[in-house]
Structure 1
Amino acid sequence: MKLYPLFLLVAAATVLSPGPGVLMTLTNSLRHGFANTLGGILGIAFGALLVAALSATSVGLILATSAMAFTLLKLLGAAYLIYLGLRLWRAPAFSFEAQPSRRTGFARRFLEGLSLQLTNPKAIFFFLSVFPQFIDPQQDYATQFTTLVCTYSALVVAIHCLYALFAHGARGWLASPRGGRLINRIGGATFIGFGIALASARR
């Protein structure tokens, strides 16, 4: 495997960069508390594993070469993001004083995170274009690929947990109905913006 420390930096920077997954983690932490972000975070991380596996198959190559396949997946992802944005925009202001006392809706949040990752064609192209740069053709491909994919997924869990802890700790700053509505509107508009940007994205 070539330049593993550099891969760590590149992968960490990619996960840290703002995107729909980060926004989902922040929103879940603010609305439902840190514990209830874990389902979504694990869903995003597992989605990364599936996308990586997909990118290593002929399906990934088809999406990389077929304009129709790319467009269909792109529009599906865009529609999902816009749906999330509209749902969040219309949601009532959340109250930080009424946090749930146990993990509720873990499976639902896991599926939301998984769906968000699987409907993002950019993730497939990230694995197709970035991973080969760090694989030594003289060594076993499967071992190197597995190591890089597991590293990426572990970074997703660690970094998103840090985002969730930060948001959970900062919830007091927005402990008001006005603040709750503001977060809903900003988050909803951002999701919609991501959806529109994805729908208009080209290869």
Structure 2
Amino acid sequence: MHLYLLFLLMATATALSPGPGVVMTLSNALRLGRRGTLGGILGIAAGALVVSALSATSLGVLLATSATAFTLVKYVGAAYLVYLGIRLWRKPGLNLQVATGAADDRFGRRFIEALVLQLSNPKVVLFFLSIFPQFIDPAGDFQTQFVLLTLTYAVIVALVHLGYAMGAKRIRGWLTSERGGRVMNRTAGSTFLFFGAVLASSQR
């Protein structure tokens, strides 16, 4: 496996970038407290495992045997990162609306909601379909690399969302403010633009 450090950085940037999962974690933390976020966080991480398994097992074999397919997916992935970068750069701060009234803090309900959200999140699906397989060395053991990268991403997602949950009350105002949202989104956008350029220039 090659470029593992780059994978770590890219996976972390993807998990950190504001999106539906982050909004869900922050909302749950503000409504239910830190303990009430555990089901949702584990559901998000589980969703990442499911999507990675479905994408890597099918697409990874193709990329390992076809240089043309690898090149095509590489540029699709790079273009997607650039698209994310531009979109985040122009995006306003998070619109975080916390519901009032009684909140359902059941672990199972939070887990299923987050799992469904993650499985339907195009950012996650496209990350694994167009980017994830490129970090697998075709000369190495595919299964070992796949398991390592998948678990790495799931752990990163869980840790990032735990961080958001623990700091929800402190960072809510900043993330939803015009200035804070701009700084967060432009930082994430610049990161994705950089990774898009790196990915486009990478060699097999």
TM-score (norm 1): 0.62
Within 2, Cα distance between the matches of 1:140 and 1:93? 52
The partner residue of 1:92 within 90, 100, 108 is 100
Deviation at 1:109, TM superposition (A): 0.3
Deviation at 1:18, TM superposition (A): 0.3
Corresponding letter in the other structure for 2:150: V
Q: Secondary structure at the match of 2:133?
A: helix
Deviation at 1:104, TM superposition (A): 3.4
Corresponding letter in the other structure for 1:162: G
Deviation at 1:11, TM superposition (A): 0.4
Q: Secondary structure at the match of 2:14?
A: helix
CA RMSD of aligned residues (A): 3.1
For 1:119, the equivalent position in structure 2 comes to 120
Q: Tell me whether 1:160 sits opposite 2:155 in the alignment.
A: no
C-alpha deviations, 1:13-47, integer Å up to 9, x for none? Answer: 01000000000000100111001001000000000
Deviation at 1:93, TM superposition (A): 6.2
TM-score (norm 2): 0.61
Corresponding letter in the other structure for 1:17: S
Q: Secondary structure at the match of 1:56?
A: helix
Within 1, Cα distance between the matches of 2:170 and 2:57? 42
For 2:71, the equivalent position in structure 1 comes to none
For 1:136, the equivalent position in structure 2 comes to 137
Corresponding letter in the other structure for 2:5: P
Within 1, Cα distance between the matches of 2:98 and 2:26? 18
State how 1:47-86 maps to structure 2 within 5 Å.
47-58=47-58
Unpaired runs of at least 5, structure 1 = 62-87, 95-99, 174-181, 183-203
Within 1, Cα distance between the matches of 2:42 and 2:160? 12
C-alpha deviations, 1:125-153, integer Å up to 9, x for none? Answer: 21111112211110001110110010000
For 2:42, the equivalent position in structure 1 comes to 42
Deviation at 1:124, TM superposition (A): 1.8
For 1:104, the equivalent position in structure 2 comes to 105
Within 1, Cα distance between the matches of 2:135 and 2:4? 7
Within 2, Cα distance between the matches of 1:8 and 1:167? 24
Q: Give aligned-pair identity as a percent.
A: 59
For 1:179, the equivalent position in structure 2 comes to none
C-alpha deviations, 1:157-196, integer Å up to 9, x for none? Answer: 100000011114568x7xxxxxxxx9xxxxxxxxxxxxxx
**Contact 2:56 2:129 (8 Å CA) reproduced:** yes
Within 2, Cα distance between the matches of 1:132 and 1:139? 13
Unpaired runs of at least 5, structure 2 = 63-95, 177-204
Deviation at 1:58, TM superposition (A): 4.9
**Contact 1:33 1:168 (8 Å CA) reproduced:** no
Within 2, Cα distance between the matches of 1:14 and 1:90? 24
Kindly tell me the number of residue pairs found equivalent between the two proteins. Answer: 142
Q: 1:28 to 1:150 in 2, by over 3 A?
A: same
C-alpha deviations, 1:58-100, integer Å up to 9, x for none? Answer: 5999xxxxxxxxxxxxxxxxxxxxxxxxxx9694368xxxxx9
**Contact 2:27 2:97 (8 Å CA) reproduced:** no
